[in-house]
């Protein structure tokens, strides 16, 4: 056997030993995780993927036969791509799209507040209905940031929710008080974006 | 009119003016974005949502009638939730799940390398087939990190891809050279995770 192939064998052997140790550590770690709990999940940050990952989680739950509620707080309507897919599962997904575009499109704070309240009422109804296993409150963080909804009221409702219900809240600038009561918080950070090269929003990517 | 309601009126008026300026700035910015381009998209970082956001984008494209290819580089099979949904769209989605679990499960580097090569061959075939509009290479970053595939070969293929093809590459520890040639890079950062409170992986959330 040449020294070169011995060397490759060594690399593989060492890698396999390391891998075995990682598996052992992981198995031990996972064995300690025994609780089930309905989670408060937050996707925040300036990067892309906050709503998209939430939508992915919605689809995964639907795949498991779990009923999902979706409330769109700011955008007037979900992207046609998402809607087309969700509408294929009418028994497992209820969508409420409230409001009429991003706040910088409406230029009417009073109306934004009114729509935020309507959306929150819908979200509360879904949270109270035990047939829903997951409720997505898309862009709720924006409403909280602009004080369209009282933070105290939202926190109180979330901390008193059914213990088996998962909720996902998306949007930039999640409030610290919300992060405090959340179970799973992910920040999407933009490292690179094609807009800076003059590339426009494209079907399937941005909408 | 009381001074209190005047004040509320003032707040709304100022907010609406600010909103109008934001809209103007945004419209001007978006008017300059005129190019269409097939993007190289990377989801990396230690946080959750990398594959989930990619899956969300896959579903969105399917909703638009765009054909999507999915290659699973490391996990042996996609989560049943995702699969159930994707299998509802057989004309628009081809899935190749290669390998047999995470590397720390297999403990066999030679076999990991062989599976990585098989997966990469599938991804190349999809990239060369113009019927695919998007190709997701899930966990490819892991293969590159452990040198299961030559980085040069992957970079060369991606930079020479069809200009209208979008690709998404997921996984922790994306190589700098890959980030360099990418158009859209998002890092998912973990702020808070329920494992630390002893909560186990749950259906719809982790799988």
> Of A62, A182, A195, which has the smallest distance from its Cβ to B192's Cβ?
A182
Q: Nearest residue on chain A to B88, judged by CA atoms?
A: A88
Can you tell me the mean pLDDT for B1-26? 75
Q: Is residue B91 within 8 angstroms of chain A, CB to CB?
A: no
Query: What number is the average pLDDT over the span B147-158?
Result: 96
Domain A38-197 in this protein, CATH class: alpha beta
Reference A141, options A78, A39, A77, A51; nearest CA is A51
User: How close B114 comes to chain A (CA, Å)?
Assistant: 13
Q: Give A14's pLDDT tier (boundaries 50, 70, 90).
A: confident
Task: Check if B181 contacts A (Cβ < 8 Å).
Answer: no
Q: Is the Cα torsion angle B80, B82, B85, B89 positive or negative in sign?
A: negative
Q: Is the CATH code 3.40.50.300 the one for domain B37-197?
A: yes
Residues 126-155 in B contacting A (C-alpha not used; CB under 8 Å): 133-134, 146
Structure tokens at B10: 């003032």
Lowest-confidence region among A1-15, A51-65, A168-182, B3-17: A1-15
The more confidently predicted of residues B37 and A134 is: A134
- pLDDT, average across residues B59-85: 83
B156 at interface of A, judged by CB pairs closer than 8 A = no
- pLDDT tens digits along A26-73: 777 767 766 788 999 999 999 889 999 999 999 999 989 999 999 998
Residue A134's CB: how many other CB atoms inside 10 A? 27
Contacting B residues, span 51-90, partner chain A, CB-CB under 8 Å: 51-57, 59-64, 66, 79-85, 88
Q: What percent of chain B has pLDDT over 90?
A: 50
ipTM of the complex: 0.75
Answer yes or no: are the C-beta atoms of A58 and B80 closer than 8 Å: no
At residue A19 the predicted structure's pLDDT band, cuts being 50, 70 and 90, is confident
* Separation CA A197–CA A200 (nearest Å): 9
pLDDT at residue B76 above 80?
Answer: no
What does DSSP assign to residue A193? Answer: -
pLDDT in tens, A69-103: 999 988 654 567 788 888 889 999 999 887 665 55
A66·B203 Cβ contact <8 A: yes
Q: How far is A121 from chain B (nearest CA, A)?
A: 22
Between B63, B179, B186, which is nearest A48 by CB? B186
Of A23, A47, A53, the CB nearest to B52: A53
């Amino acid at each position: 056997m040449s020294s070169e192939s011995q060397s490759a064998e060594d690399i593989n052997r060492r890698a396999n030993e390391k891998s075995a140790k990682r598996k052992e550590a992981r198995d031990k770690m996972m064995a300690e995780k025994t609780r089930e709990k309905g989670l408060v999940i937050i996707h925040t940050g300036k990067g892309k993927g906050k709503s998209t990952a939430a939508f992915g989680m919605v689809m995964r739950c639907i795949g498991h036969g779990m009923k999902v509620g979706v409330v769109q707080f700011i955008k007037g309507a979900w992207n046609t791509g998402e809607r087309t897919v969700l509408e294929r599962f009418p028994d497992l997904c209820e969508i409420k799209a409230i409001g009429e575009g991003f706040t910088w499109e409406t230029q009417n704070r009073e109306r934004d507040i009114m729509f935020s309240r309507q959306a929150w009422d819908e979200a509360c109804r879904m949270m109270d209905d035990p047939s829903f296993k997951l409720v997505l409150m898309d862009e709720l963080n924006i409403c909280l940031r602009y004080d369209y909804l009282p933070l105290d009221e939202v926190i109180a409702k979330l901390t008193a929710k059914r213990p088996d219900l998962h909720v996902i809240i998306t949007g930039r600038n999640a409030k610290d008080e919300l992060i405090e009561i959340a179970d799973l918080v992910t920040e999407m950070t933009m490292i690179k974006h094609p807009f800076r090269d003059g590339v426009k929003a494209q079907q399937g990517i941005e909408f």
